[in-house]
Amino acid sequence: MTFTCRPCSHRSSHRVSKQGYYHGTVLISCPSCKNKHLISDHLQIFSDSRITLDDIMREKGQLVKRGALGGDGDVEFWDDGTTTTTEPTQPTRQIGDS
């Protein structure tokens, strides 16, 4: 996960497990100003309902961009969190090919 800390404008990347994000409570500290950022709270420690960063950003009218980093260094982003798998295509034959 990569984000920019609003108080100090420092951009940093952090690893969060799916288990923690979808079932636990996750706080991330900014390495620059040490501000704590609530990423998810399924244990309802900081909020009265189960909440994730997606919910928080949606309430503020902001967009969460999801993406994937491929083994070759390519980055792919998508809006709705879905992925597309492409199958290798067969070479097309043109008229007159044997």
User: Do the domain assignments include residue 25?
Assistant: yes
Encode pLDDT of 1-31 as tens digits.
Answer: 888 899 999 999 898 998 999 999 999 999 9
pTM score, whole prediction: 0.63
Split into its structural domains, the chain has a count of 1
User: Do the domain assignments include residue 16?
Assistant: yes
Q: How many helices (H) and strands (E) does the chain have?
A: 2, 7
pLDDT at 57: 84
Name the one residue in this structure whose structure tokens are 């969190």: 81
User: Do the domain assignments include residue 60?
Assistant: yes
User: Do the domain assignments include residue 67?
Assistant: yes
Q: How many residues does the chain have?
A: 98
Domain that holds residue 21: 2-78
